[in-house]
Amino acid sequence: MKVSPLHPLFAAELTGADLTRDPTPKLVEIVEEAMAQYGVLVVRDARIDDAQHKRFTRAFGPLELPSRQAGGLAHPAGKRVIDPEMFYAGNLDPDGEIMAYGSEGYRLAQGAERFHTDSSFHAMPTKWSLLHGVETPPPDVGGDTLFADSRAAYDTLPADMQARLEGLVGIHDFWEGRRRAGLKGEITPEMRAIIPFDPVSHPIVRTLPHGRKTLFIGGHCIGIEGMDADEGRALVEDLYAQSTQDRFVYRHHWRQYDLVIWDNRCTMHAATPLTSTVYRRDMRRTTVNESGPEMSAYEWIAQGCPA
């Protein structure tokens, strides 16, 4: 197994790993060390099924399961086999047919084209996401993923700005974040039943387990606690612009069977449009939490946020 950098500041690829087998202590050690250093790790040629994907993920912590409120909408029924423990992205409808970019079924997913951090809109302690390219289009037609290093963005802030940010708490809201990302139309109760979360708070600056500081913002962060709404939004947008400069961004051109791991605590990511209706894009994600039981974020809240 070999780890090789993909960008001057962060992101690397791992070659030679066999994820069809039970994860060995050596593989777990290599991945943990690479993630601590690089924040994004691309595992090449991961020809795995969904069960193997989940088994590998669980080597690094408990799964975050997709959240649905009791009595809320289930995933739309169709011919496509949907694993209830996984998240899905791409351009396929419940029957496995290609959805046109910008269509009604695609509308919510377009909010992911703004840099964001998975699950920052709930309070459960998220660690990593692992996205598997089951079917990917050619690299020159769209569908790339952009990653931004929030650690490097923090490091280059002036000292007075770093001092100003200490102790500030950001407000994260999924639906308001999607609205600001361009979601049109009314936010219906049925939509809120799918993503059933009230606004939550997270520190603007976090210290990672290995001691490095990072910004924690992204598309779900809409303001600052205790700050005038316009002032808080302006500060968040300034930090967003700082963090998404080209020098802090790695663009991933997907190859089929890539498994891309990113640390939600110190990176942001954004989808790029795939406007073609010729190519299928089937992307399947697991998310692993820092600690706690394996459950959905909604169940975690309902049970009083158990340790």
The residues near 95 (Cβ < 8 Å, ≥ 6 apart) are: 78, 79, 80
User: Residue 279: which H helix or E strand, with range?
Assistant: none
User: Residue 36: which H helix or E strand, with range?
Assistant: helix 25-38
Look up residue 25 and give its two tokens.
Answer: 């202590």
Tens digits of residue pLDDT in 258-294:
999 999 999 999 999 999 999 999 999 999 999 888 9
Rounded to whole angstroms, the Cα distance separating 127 from 262 reads: 9
Query: For residue 73, is pLDDT > 60?
Result: no
pLDDT band at 171, cuts 50/70/90?
very high
Rounded to whole angstroms, the Cα distance separating 296 from 306 reads: 12
The residues near 284 (Cβ < 8 Å, ≥ 6 apart) are: 50, 53, 83, 86, 87, 88, 89, 131, 132, 134
Mean pLDDT, all residues of the chain: 91
**Checking DSSP bridges between strand 40-43 and strand 259-263, what pairing results, if any?**
antiparallel
Rounded to whole angstroms, the Cα distance separating 27 from 3 reads: 11
Which carries the bigger pLDDT value, residue 301 or residue 158?
Answer: 158
Per DSSP, the residues of 67-111 read P--TT-PPPPP-SS---TTSEEEESB-TTSPBPPTTSGGGTGGGG
Any idea which residue has 């994860």 for tokens?
Answer: 23
Rounded to whole angstroms, the Cα distance separating 192 from 271 reads: 22
| Ordered domains of the chain (ranges, CATH) | 2-302 (3.60.130.10)
Tens digits of residue pLDDT in 43-56:
999 999 999 999 99
Q: Give CA 76 to chain center in angstroms.
A: 22
The residues near 75 (Cβ < 8 Å, ≥ 6 apart) are: 82, 84, 94
Query: For residue 144, is pLDDT > 60?
Result: yes
Query: For residue 74, is pLDDT > 60?
Result: no
Give the gyration radius of the chain's Cα atoms.
Answer: 19
* Separation in Å, CA 305 to CA 39, 124, 226, 261, 288: 27, 8, 24, 26, 16
The residues near 104 (Cβ < 8 Å, ≥ 6 apart) are: none
**Checking DSSP bridges between strand 200-203 and strand 40-43, what pairing results, if any?**
unpaired
Q: Which residues pair with 12 in a beta bridge?
A: 5, 41
Q: Which residues pair with 202 in a beta bridge?
A: 170
Residue 189 CB coordination number (10 Å)? 8
Q: How many residues does the chain have?
A: 307
pLDDT at position 106: 66
The mean per-residue pLDDT over the stretch 15-27 comes to 97
Query: For residue 191, is pLDDT > 90?
Result: no
Rounded to whole angstroms, the Cα distance separating 148 from 156 reads: 14
φ, ψ dihedrals at 217, nearest 5°:
-130, -120
Query: For residue 72, is pLDDT > 70?
Result: no
pLDDT at position 86: 95
